[in-house]
Amino acid sequence: MNPRTTGILLLGALGLFAFVYFYEMQGEGARLEAEQATKRLFSGIEAADVTWIALRTSDGVDARFEQREGRWELTQPIAFPADAAVERIAEALATVTSETTFEHPQPDAEYGLDDAAAGIVRFGAGDAEHALRIGKATPVGSNVYARTDESPAVHTIASYRATALERTLTDLRDKQILDFDTSAIRELEVRWPGARVVLARTAQPPRETAAEGGDEKAEGAAPDILGDWQMTAPIASRADSDAVDNLLSTLSYLRADGFVDAPTDAQRERLDPPDFEVLLRGGDVQAAPRALAISRPDGAEKRLVRAGRDVLFEIAAARLTDFPRETAAYRDRHLARFLATDAQQVDFFFHAPDGDPVAIRAERSADAGWSSTPESFGSGKLADVVSELSRLEAADIVAESMGETDLEKLGLSPPSTILTVLGAAPAPAKDAAPDALPPAAPRLSEVHFGNVTPEGVVARAVGDPIVYRVDLETAERLPVSLEAFRNRFQEKPTAAEETAPDAEADSELRVPAEESP
């Protein structure tokens, strides 16, 4: 074939492909969208144009919603923030499309579109008012009858579009109980019957950067960096930052199951005093704190919540477990905290009740991993122990400090068990003397364990006078006693080792061949 002809045919094929691709394939979405737009019942209206909506909810309440400063608000029968579902209703009204149209329909009653039977949604867009009537389901297909007040024509619309308009009043109210930025909170005050805890977030000094080419500070300093949470009442102590952050997160995501718009005196009395209360304060000390209070129980499955409004919220009674009501729950109860990968050596020292103490040293090598002498741990168990120790947290605080007599009674003076974790020793200094001792390995953790009781195991961290209690579930994962090590952590002999005869005993019983009769 002539090369010129081949080139022309190739260009033609490419042009045809481009036409099919851009017009048929890429343009399909735009054409479908344009087709849907022509089928809209309210042509030219977008969801953003809707400024108010009035409807009767599925539980029979006449409600009105209005756009105010970019947010939907319930204005009737009560003033209250609206749920995001109202925005979806505006979207449904603006985009509802006709599946089929009857230009010369029967009377409205035939379709359930008369005033007595229809669901009527009115809304405003610009200066115009519109209305959509929703009737009964069609005999065939997943559609319902509908009509706008602007036209006598009857349409069928998809049932799911009509369902989007059927909501209870509770569905259409904002169920978020407290609206706040968790990162902006600087102080919490938590109260429950007989106790009170105050937690504050420390602020580190602002960072200052040196100006280039000199020691003078550059203009402008970095903003304050928030530090860890500290408990300031009832005592000054480190706080459990995770517990505080979890509480703030729980409060920010707490949603109401229902509303009590006109509380009775009996309902208000359940909140005086409440079963749990929290006050949130931000950086502005002059501003009133945000407050939330949960009612005392009355045997019902719901608790009442007060959050700065005359309206009371309802939440499930089981949600109260999300709000700790023990002082120790807000305190830092870590006996050890280090990176498990930093641990290079673990020393186990057990005081045997009826015998000599037992000491075991475990070391980690790059090739073989963890191993111990003179007694061996089961496969993988040493790594699990180190991992558990690296984040060891007590369940409760027994005492802020104790005298030697009380510590002795608890098995902590001397300790029943000592677990010491060491990191990698630093390299010797280049200018160190030849006879100088090598640098000591840093101690990452040292925990002392005492008596095991049905409530748990008492424990202390070296350098910390507080006496903690580790729960039994956590203690099961640690060799807190020699008995625990032998029962759960020690490497077990194989079946062959258990059945093999003792070589020395066998030699004593065996009769030499030359002496046998």
% the chain with pLDDT above 90: 74
pLDDT score, position 515: 40
Contact 56, 131 (CB under 8 A): no
Q: Taking the CB of residue 182, how many other CB atoms lie within 10 A of it?
A: 14
pLDDT band at residue 495 using 50, 70 and 90 as cut-offs: low
Domain boundaries, the chain: 47-163, 182-204+225-330, 340-426+440-493
This prediction has a pTM of 0.77
With a cut of 80, say whether residue 378 has pLDDT above it: yes
Cα 167–Cα 173–Cα 179 angle in degrees, nearest 5: 145
C-alpha distance from residue 120 to each of 91, 138, 193, 279, 360 (Å): 16, 18, 50, 44, 80
User: Of the ranges 155-164, 177-186, 345-354, 494-503, which one carries the lowest mean pLDDT score?
Assistant: 494-503
The CA distance from 396 to 455, in Å, is: 10
With a cut of 70, say whether residue 73 has pLDDT above it: yes
Same fold, 182-204+225-330 and 340-426+440-493: yes
pLDDT digits over 282-313, tens only? 988 788 999 999 999 988 899 999 998 889 99
Specify the 3-state DSSP secondary structure of 205: coil
- Topology classification of domain 340-426+440-493: Immunoglobulin-like (2.60.40)
Contact 403, 413 (CB under 8 A): no
CA nearest to 354, candidates 484, 490, 483, 486:
483
pLDDT digits over 162-193, tens only? 998 999 999 999 999 999 999 999 999 999 99
pLDDT band at residue 26 using 50, 70 and 90 as cut-offs: low
With a cut of 50, say whether residue 59 has pLDDT above it: yes
CA nearest to 243, candidates 129, 317, 329, 342:
329
Burial code (b: 16+ CB inside 10 Å, e: under 16) for 247-276 equals: bbeebbebebeebbeebeeeeeebbeebbb
With a cut of 80, say whether residue 226 has pLDDT above it: no
Whether CATH 2.60.120 fits 182-204+225-330: no
Q: Is the dihedral of CA 149, 155, 158, 163 positive or negative?
A: positive
pLDDT score, position 141: 84
